[in-house]
Structure 1
Amino acid sequence: MTDDIILKFANAEILINDTAYNKLSVQKNSLELADSLLDDLLRNQRDVFIVTEDILDRYLQDQGQVSNYGSDADINSIVNNIIVSENPSKAIKPPQSKLMPNVPFDFQIVKDASKKSYTSGEIKDFSAYFNSRFQKIKGLLSKKGELKESYPIKDLVNMNDNVRIIGMVNDIRTTKNNHKIMELEDETGYTNVLIHNDNQKLFESSDKIVRDEVIGINGIKKGNLVIASELIQPGVPRIEDKEMDFSAVFISDVHIGSSTFLEDAFKRFVNWINGDFGDEEKREVANDVRYLVIAGDLVDGIGVYPNQEKELTIKDIYGQYEEAARLLGDIEDVKIIIAPGNHDACRLAEPQPAIPESYAGDLYKLKNAEFVSNPSVVSLEGINTLIYHGRSFDDLVMTVNGMSHERTDLVMKELLEKRHLAPIYGERTPLASEFEDHLVIEDVPDIFHTGHVHINAYRRYKGIHMINSGTFQSQTEFQKIYNIVPTCAEVPVLNRGTMKIFKFN
């Protein structure tokens, strides 16, 4: 009988403390009472995840029953029969997330471009796209004290004094005297801005300025030039910490279907997230996981690069997503959020809409899966999470000195400061020229999650958790050529606000 009662509560994934258990187990009809109590809790008190003596007493009173304790000997006999783990000093501890199976996920899609992507492919769309970017970021810059009284560029004609302007960078080049000339544009006109190399701090900061970003300038107008004294990016303010009473897991670049996909490691990961793998610390954290966020490249795709078919074990895109559904389908009691990457079956141009159901029908059958665009913003129990696969990292690494694939935290920091996920137009990152620029970071996230480069990175910047997740794919031939060493099967977990890395390789 002892085992039967414990099993009933374990199956319902609700705890019962010792006192309540002892009182319930000595009732004449204890098994029937356990069934009816659990049924009542699941129907009417979904926020209860541990049954205490008070809860049991109220239930017995409602049922017209009197608490019926047996003798001390009976109680001691029952207590001695409570199941313990293989280590007798440690009682079995049911997973925390499994204690709340009927508590709904507090999950919301805050921003998604899947059904908001409009373009006719005409020249006017380019103008609308860049104007959308300019107006959004100009609005952020105009709130800064240094730029509250900025002027349209056309008004500079009659000025020969201190000026404040906001513009988009058309071009930036180095003069023969090693100064920099930046061409800035707004909706009213153009102007040239000189960055003098005598101002060493300003000159060094200008190294991070890239084409097509929107910035503010404080300076002095002299002739046809504005001599800059200050470069102002929109930046991000420091945000307050938000309390997390749950854990979230962040992965990307799984590359299911590739011959270099680490299937055994991924299966260990799935077993862990279900609470069935790892040491005590790993299981303790796994029991607290409510969300799994996948930032693109769930599968390896088809025809992504020349001769890719030679490196595939699943040579059909439908088969790759079927296998992904099979592997992810084993994950229980966790909300799975899936965004696409450049290897997934959707358009390459960003923003990428959510992976289409027509390609991933089996994935869409998973009741705990949510599909979002790249980029997107979701709320996990009130924690706003910006998801971006990270294709633009390639452009920043090639353009800005000091940036590298090994230090994506520096790249992520710069994107936050620019308030744009892919500021450079016309390089390796294809961008859709739409009526609205969906890659502007309009609101400051609590978490910024990216992938793409297959290398783990984490940094807390102005209160924002910046997480770049690694991969479940071993080193590829392409990576060997460029000496890129991936972080394989090492998973970032935000455990109630604290970053942990768990290894499954």
Structure 2
Amino acid sequence: MLTAQEIALRFLDTKLQVHPEVVRYILENDEPDLIERIIAGVPEDTVVVSAKHIPGIRPTRDGTRFLLDPTVEVVSGNPGTSGPVNGTGDYLHYFRDRFSRLGGMIRGRVGAMPIEGLTKNTRYRQEECTVIGMVVDVSTTKNGHRIAEIEDSSASISVLFRKDRPVFADAEKIVHDEVIGVKGKLSNDGRLFFAEFLYRPDIRIDNTPFKSDKPGKAVLISDVHVGSNTFLEEAWNRFADWLSDSDYQYLLIAGDLVDGIGIYPGQDQELTIKNIYEQYDAFGAMLSDLPSRMKIIISPGNHDVVRGAEPQPVIPEAFTKKFPQNCMQVENPAVVNLQGVRVMMYHGRSIDDMIGLIPGASYEHSGLMMEEMLIRRHLAPAYGRRTPIAAGRTDRMIIDPIPEILHTGHVHIKGITTYRGVLGVNAGTWQSQTAFQKQMNVNPTPALAVVVDLQTLMPETFSFA
């Protein structure tokens, strides 16, 4: 058996220094070819061989070691899930599925009757009742009240939310195509419903998130935008070095891996890489520099080379040939299970719509937008606006099951929130302020990574700017 001195000398023969932890590991594991396997796998610019260079071993911060065995399960959003839209018939199924599932969540908490049964039966006039419907239209009257037309499978009705009632604050945030329940009384002529309470699918107040029973940490980032002249390469390199010295098991990237081609007018003037294949090759090379022990989970965004309509399929294989083997691709949106902790990954394009529809909403408060998604149990409730939706036979934008973590991007501004046990994370971007953002007075928060401890669900933000 080799001595500690002989092990150190063997590394010195190849102009490498060796950490005592590595020497101790080699002494504990009497494997004849272990030293040579370690040396063969060390990058060329390495000076000191540390525990991170031992094949199959993950060093932890306190010096202990254990085998890397990251557990990842794709709950929804596996490659190939997003099929084509097969005609107008799918739209009917899509909205029926949305109404049935979200309406069922409300009905599970409050009793409700069909709208047609309410309007056609005069005995319900002036009696307090509850109905559930999808919002067809919503507007503000000349007197400042809020009025919404809702419909179920039987009929539709106009609902009035008076500005002098407590319910008005919730009514101001009603958006098109969300599913709501309203409790109140029907007018004498049966044409108007006076609302006193508003119900949404929401997350139960007693929701208890699952926490992993073993150590594990996930790094959350989004919006890398490789190929843009505002991509922060030096900051990324600091991030990559930091990951190499860490003990994290998972890296989740929520879309916009590259800047893309032809996404907006004049984009070619702001690109350092003007070939889409080369953009993804460069991104793949960046991922290859990260620790191979990590599981890297990738979903696309609106700048990536997939259809714009959500749900978006995975990036085609023709563009990912240089991605390392430890990468796992999922669709947008997707739910992945990390050691029992469910993470819903959604790039977040619908935030644009919600900001335009909800009073007081802004890009600076992306955390609040994630809360609004959770309240509605839907990632993109407003149909037919800036966020294109590929309507299939089921609505894959519904938030079901409830995740422990909602991971978004798109807005380039950090936002962290906790709503009824669900942690919402938007980690910002790896791109400095663009010319368009400057015109719009949008100030990004670049070069950030959010690390979530899977045992506590506590987030910690690290800056590489």
CA gap 1:5/1:179 in 2 versus in 1, 3 angstroms: same
The aligned residue for residue 265 of structure 2 is 306
Give matches, 1:145-224, under 5 Å: 147=110, 149-156=111-118, 157-158=120-121, 159-160=124-125, 161-199=127-165, 201-222=166-187, 223-224=190-191
1:240 is aligned to 2:208:
yes
- Aligned partner (choices 272, 288, 296) of residue 336 of structure 1: 296
CA gap 1:375/1:298 in 2 versus in 1, 3 angstroms: same
The aligned residue for residue 41 of structure 2 is none
Q: Is residue 14–residue 98 contact of structure 1 (8 Å, CA) maintained in 2?
A: no
SS at match of 2:31: helix
The aligned residue for residue 321 of structure 1 is 280
CA gap 1:189/1:103 in 2 versus in 1, 3 angstroms: same
**How far apart are residue 154 of structure 1 and its match?**
1.3
CA gap 1:435/1:33 in 2 versus in 1, 3 angstroms: closer
Give matches, 1:83-482, under 5 Å: 94-95=59-60, 102-112=67-77, 114-144=79-109, 147=110, 149-156=111-118, 157-158=120-121, 159-160=124-125, 161-199=127-165, 201-222=166-187, 223-237=190-204, 238-244=206-212, 245-275=215-245, 286-287=246-247, 289-332=248-291, 333-363=293-323, 366-482=324-440
Q: Is residue 12–residue 38 contact of structure 1 (8 Å, CA) maintained in 2?
A: no
**How far apart are residue 329 of structure 1 and its match?**
0.5
The Cα offsets for residues 366-415 of structure 1, whole Å up to 9 and x where unpaired, read as 11100001100001111100000000000011111111100011110010
CA gap 1:174/1:128 in 2 versus in 1, 3 angstroms: same
The Cα offsets for residues 9-28 of structure 1, whole Å up to 9 and x where unpaired, read as xx9999699xxx6xx9xxxx
Q: Determine the C-alpha separation between the residues in 2 that align with 1:33 and 1:102.
A: 14
CA gap 1:221/1:324 in 2 versus in 1, 3 angstroms: same
Q: Determine the C-alpha separation between the residues in 2 that align with 1:14 and 1:131.
A: 64
Q: Determine the C-alpha separation between the residues in 2 that align with 1:7 and 1:375.
A: 52
Q: Is residue 281–residue 319 contact of structure 2 (8 Å, CA) maintained in 1?
A: no
Q: Determine the C-alpha separation between the residues in 1 that align with 2:365 and 2:387.
A: 19
Q: Determine the C-alpha separation between the residues in 1 that align with 2:181 and 2:363.
A: 28
SS at match of 1:361: coil
Q: Determine the C-alpha separation between the residues in 1 that align with 2:309 and 2:33.
A: 54
Give matches, 1:18-57, under 5 Å: 34-35=30-31
CA gap 1:102/1:419 in 2 versus in 1, 3 angstroms: same
**How far apart are residue 123 of structure 1 and its match?**
2.2
Q: Determine the C-alpha separation between the residues in 2 that align with 1:171 and 1:396.
A: 15
| Regions of 4+ moved over 6 Å | 11-17, 36-39
The aligned residue for residue 283 of structure 1 is none
Q: Determine the C-alpha separation between the residues in 1 that align with 2:223 and 2:174.
A: 29
1:485 is aligned to 2:451:
no
SS at match of 2:172: helix
Which 5+ residue runs of structure 2 have no aligned equivalent?
A: 11-16, 36-47, 51-57
SS at match of 2:30: helix
The aligned residue for residue 504 of structure 1 is 464
Q: Is residue 250–residue 292 contact of structure 1 (8 Å, CA) maintained in 2?
A: yes
Q: Determine the C-alpha separation between the residues in 1 that align with 2:177 and 2:94.
A: 12
Q: Determine the C-alpha separation between the residues in 2 that align with 1:13 and 1:290.
A: 22
CA gap 1:236/1:5 in 2 versus in 1, 3 angstroms: farther
Q: Which amino acid aligns with 1:269?
A: F
Number of corresponding residues: 428
CA gap 1:327/1:391 in 2 versus in 1, 3 angstroms: same
- Aligned partner (choices 4, 18, 43) of residue 2 of structure 1: 4
Q: Determine the C-alpha separation between the residues in 2 that align with 1:292 and 1:248.
A: 6
The aligned residue for residue 52 of structure 1 is none
Structure with the larger helix share: 1
The Cα offsets for residues 13-70 of structure 1, whole Å up to 9 and x where unpaired, read as 99699xxx6xx9xxxxx9696327989xxxxxxxxxxxxxxxxxxxxxxxxxxxxxxx
**How far apart are residue 350 of structure 1 and its match?**
0.3
Q: Determine the C-alpha separation between the residues in 2 that align with 1:430 and 1:239.
A: 31
Which 5+ residue runs of structure 1 have no aligned equivalent?
A: 25-29, 40-82, 86-92, 276-285
Q: Which amino acid aligns with 2:73?
A: Q
The Cα offsets for residues 310-358 of structure 1, whole Å up to 9 and x where unpaired, read as 1111111110110001011011111100000000010000000111112
The Cα offsets for residues 206-226 of structure 1, whole Å up to 9 and x where unpaired, read as 111100000111111222211
Q: Determine the C-alpha separation between the residues in 1 that align with 2:20 and 2:370.
A: 41
**How far apart are residue 99 of structure 1 and its match?**
6.2
Q: Structure 1 length as normaliser, TM-score? A: 0.79
Q: Determine the C-alpha separation between the residues in 2 that align with 1:271 and 1:425.
A: 42
Q: Determine the C-alpha separation between the residues in 1 that align with 2:355 and 2:49.
A: 54
CA gap 1:31/1:442 in 2 versus in 1, 3 angstroms: closer
Q: Determine the C-alpha separation between the residues in 2 that align with 1:434 and 1:473.
A: 34
**How far apart are residue 176 of structure 1 and its match?**
2.2
Bigger radius of gyration:
1
The aligned residue for residue 49 of structure 1 is none
Q: Determine the C-alpha separation between the residues in 2 that align with 1:190 and 1:141.
A: 18
The Cα offsets for residues 259-287 of structure 1, whole Å up to 9 and x where unpaired, read as 11111110110111010xxxxxxxxxx22
Q: Is residue 390–residue 451 contact of structure 1 (8 Å, CA) maintained in 2?
A: yes
SS at match of 1:411: helix
